């Protein structure tokens, strides 16, 4: 199979113009992924006339064959999270170093992980192969100095951990979590991916009718509890639990050690320099908002947290502490 020249190009989106899917590509050139999210970097690139006039399109078969011929860097570590629990900070700190490729919540990966719910009869093995190929496309060195490759997944992706582990069985992964009230208040402000239309109800053990009738506080708490349970149930298979309270210091110490990467004093200083800015909006100064969130919590939020999330949080803390000092 003839493979088009895709040096400097990265997946833009996955769509189903024909089975099983097609990929649009965007020319990145030598630009690094330093924005908080993958799609923000892609959006900046799409502002250039070249990317408006020229675009590569390939089939799924081309994506897979390209990965066989040129698989790119092997992932150094995966970042999963409860949502609003410090994962973006970790990704941005890692992205501060030019030798790191950091992919943060890439929509093409999200599309690949959703295929089994949106494309009818797709085997898990097919999905695994496509995930490997998509990750390979994003881990392509472009400057020649890249040494490490990290991926931050969306919060719900930990519910697909069994498939991700089949695709990448030896990649260490972390799961970040935070006080349930803090997370739920943030969710009520910005629901993001945790809305009924975004996730298949079967992922967290509910039926369609019950999801439609749930108050948003309860729905979010149930989804977050399922996310935490998935991490808790699997963390002994190559995972490490990280409490938000351990950040940012853990990035330069226990997290990096767990991922098998090491930094010079200058590199650690560069990473820590990121922490003075807000992780999702880097033009703003970071301020700890935990107290403000707790003051803002409604009775409905507190009741949902107490029922669904507090027990999971306690189990996560117990498991993290029992795992030893490195956690």
What confidence score (pLDDT) does residue 327 get? 46
User: With the CA atoms of 280, 247, 91 and 227 taken in that order, what torsion angle do they form, in degrees rounded to the nearest 10?
Assistant: -90
Nearest to 226, CA basis, from 218, 214, 236:
218
Give the single-character DSSP code of 57.
E
pLDDT in tens, 33-76: 999 999 999 998 888 777 666 778 999 999 999 999 999 999 99
pLDDT above 50 (res 233): yes
Is the model's pTM score more than 0.95? no
Distance CA 130, CA 126 (A): 6
The DSSP code sequence of 207-234 is -HHHHHHS-HHHHHHHHHHHHHHHHHHH
Distance CA 153, CA 183 (A): 17
- Reading the block at residue 45, the tokens are 């690139």
The reply to whether omega before 185 is within 30° of 0 (cis) is no
Contact (CB, 8 A) for 39 and 104: no
pLDDT in tens, 170-182: 999 999 999 999 9
Q: Where are the domains of the chain?
A: 71-322
> Of 280 and 5, which is predicted with more confidence?
5
pLDDT band with cut points at 50, 70 and 90 for residue 192: low
pLDDT band with cut points at 50, 70 and 90 for residue 197: low
Give the single-character DSSP code of 132.
H
Class of domain 71-322: alpha beta
| Alpha helices, H only, the chain | 38-46, 49-53, 60-69, 87-95, 107-118, 124-138, 161-167, 180-189, 208-213, 216-234, 249-250, 256-259, 265-273, 290-296, 299-304, 310-322
């Amino acid at each position: 199979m003839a493979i088009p020249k895709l040096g400097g190009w990265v997946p833009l989106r996955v769509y189903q113009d024909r089975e099983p899917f097609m990929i649009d590509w965007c020319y990145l050139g030598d630009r690094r992924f330093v924005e908080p999210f993958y799609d923000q970097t892609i959006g900046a690139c799409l502002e250039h006339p070249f990317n408006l006039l020229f675009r590569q399109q390939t089939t799924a078969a081309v994506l897979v064959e390209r990965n066989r011929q040129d698989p790119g860097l092997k992932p150094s570590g995966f970042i999963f999270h409860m949502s609003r629990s410090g994962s973006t900070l970790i990704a941005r700190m890692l992205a501060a170093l030019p030798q790191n490729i950091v992919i943060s919540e890439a929509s093409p990966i999200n599309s690949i992980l959703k295929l089994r719910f949106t494309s009818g009869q797709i085997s898990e093995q097919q999905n695994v192969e496509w995930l490997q190929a998509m990750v390979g496309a994003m881990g392509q060195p472009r400057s020649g100095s890249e040494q490490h490759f990290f991926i931050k997944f969306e919060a719900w992706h930990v519910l697909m951990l069994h498939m991700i582990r089949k695709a990448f069985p030896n990649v260490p992964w972390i799961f970040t979590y935070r006080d349930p009230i803090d997370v739920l208040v943030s969710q009520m402000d910005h629901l993001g991916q945790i809305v009924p239309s975004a996730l298949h109800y079967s992922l967290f053990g509910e039926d369609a009718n019950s999801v439609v009738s749930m108050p948003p506080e309860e729905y979010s708490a149930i989804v977050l509890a399922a996310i935490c349970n998935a991490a808790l149930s699997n963390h002994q298979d190559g995972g490490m639990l990280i409490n938000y309270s351990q950040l940012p210091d853990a990035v330069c110490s226990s997290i990096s050690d767990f991922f098998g990467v090491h930094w010079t004093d200058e590199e650690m200083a560069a990473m820590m320099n990121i922490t003075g800015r807000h992780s999702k909006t880097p033009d703003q100064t970071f301020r700890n908002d935990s107290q403000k969130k707790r003051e803002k919590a409604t009775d409905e939020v507190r009741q949902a947290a107490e029922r669904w999330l507090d027990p999971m949080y306690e189990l996560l803390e117990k498991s993290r502490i029992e795992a030893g000092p490195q956690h």
